[in-house]
Structure 1
Amino acid sequence: MLAVIEKVEGGNIARFERLLKHSVEQVWAVLTENDKLEKWMSNLEIEELRKEGTIKFNMNDGTGSSIDMKIRDFQEHSVLEFEWGDGWVRFELSPKTEGCLLVLKESIRTISDHTSKDLAGWHVCLDMLSTLLNGHYMDFPKGEWEKWHEKYIIVVNQ
């Protein structure tokens, strides 16, 4: 399912929802344990998992460069929110009868040419996260990203 973009004061919020057939604890582990996190979002690395802690965004370009991002909100097994560019990204988990609901929200101050690329990236990474939870690993699927990017170009230009 495509992200929904809502205009809010100060910008926009993109919202992705995924109903997963896994427990909150299993999904939380994939979000917060570096050995699992790197398999679906290779740029992120948890340094200090706590409110005001740090997540690194590794450039993965061979230079060893990274950006430190502050954890803005943290509630064990429930909420992980961190800085993302001039906005933030927030993961929320809530238990459901047959697993859990994962909601990813991204604050986007200004829609730009890069927005559709970023949203397609999150979309594909969430698919990779789901695949990992199902016991499989996949490399970043560039072809899938391109497909979703075309769809998100339409979404952000509506």
Structure 2
Amino acid sequence: MLATIQKQQNSYVVKFNRPLSHSVDAVWAVLTENEKLQKWMNNLEIIDLRRNGKIHFNMNDGTDTYKEIAITDYAEKEVLEFDWGTDTVRFELSSTSSGSILVLLESIGALTEHTPKDLAGWHICLDLLSDLLNGTIHEEFPMEEWQKWFVEYKQLVDNLEKI
């Protein structure tokens, strides 16, 4: 399902809504335990899991280079929010009668030519997260699938900019 984008006063909020047939505990584990996290988002590594803690964004280019990312909000098994460049990414998790719902909110200061690429990337990462929960591990990032979603998100962003 395509994310939604809402214009705020001076920014945009992108919302990915993913109902999952897995418990909050299981989903929280793939969000916060490095061994599982890196199977769907191999650039991220939790260093200090708490509010004002840190995450490393590993360049994965063989140089051991990383960027440090601040965790800006945290509530165990409920919220994980961190800086994403000049923007923020927030995961919200809650129980449902059939499992849980995972909401990813990205607050974006300005739409750029990179925005649809980033959104397609998050879309694919959430698909990989869901697949991991269902027992499927992808050895490589599915670029063909990303390209398909990039076209969709480019159109969504282009339409928003026309308003």
SS at match of 2:48: coil
Q: How far apart, CA to CA, are the structure 2 residues paired with 1:154 and 1:7?
A: 16
1:45 matched to 2:45? The reply is yes
Match of 1:152 in 2: 153
Match of 1:67 in 2: 67
SS at match of 2:118: helix
Alignment of 1:36-115 (within 5 A): 36-115=36-115
Match of 2:135 in 1: 135
Segment drifting more, 54-63 vs 120-129 = 54-63
Segment drifting more, 56-65 vs 102-111 = 56-65
Alignment of 1:17-32 (within 5 A): 17-32=17-32
TM-score between both structures, scaled by the size of structure 1: 0.98
SS at match of 1:18: strand
Name the amino acid aligned to 2:53: G
Q: How far apart, CA to CA, are the structure 2 residues paired with 1:100 and 1:146?
A: 28
Q: How far apart, CA to CA, are the structure 2 residues paired with 1:64 and 1:155?
A: 36
Q: How far apart, CA to CA, are the structure 2 residues paired with 1:44 and 1:118?
A: 15
Q: How far apart, CA to CA, are the structure 2 residues paired with 1:128 and 1:85?
A: 22
Name the amino acid aligned to 1:117: K
1:13 matched to 2:26? The reply is no
Q: How far apart, CA to CA, are the structure 2 residues paired with 1:63 and 1:4?
A: 36
Name the amino acid aligned to 1:144: E
Q: How far apart, CA to CA, are the structure 1 residues paired with 2:53 and 2:110?
A: 26
Q: How far apart, CA to CA, are the structure 2 residues paired with 1:10 and 1:88?
A: 14
Q: Deviations over 1:131-152 (max 9, x none)?
A: 0000110121010000000110
Determine what percentage of the aligned residue pairs are the same residue: 55
What is the CA-CA distance between 1:157 and the residue it aligns to? 0.7
Segment drifting more, 118-127 vs 136-145 = 136-145
Give unpaired runs (5+ residues) of structure 2: none
Number of aligned residue pairs: give it: 158
Q: Stretches of 4+ moved more than 3 A in 1?
A: none
Give unpaired runs (5+ residues) of structure 1: none
What is the CA-CA distance between 1:9 and the residue it aligns to? 2.4
Q: How far apart, CA to CA, are the structure 1 residues paired with 2:128 and 2:141?
A: 8
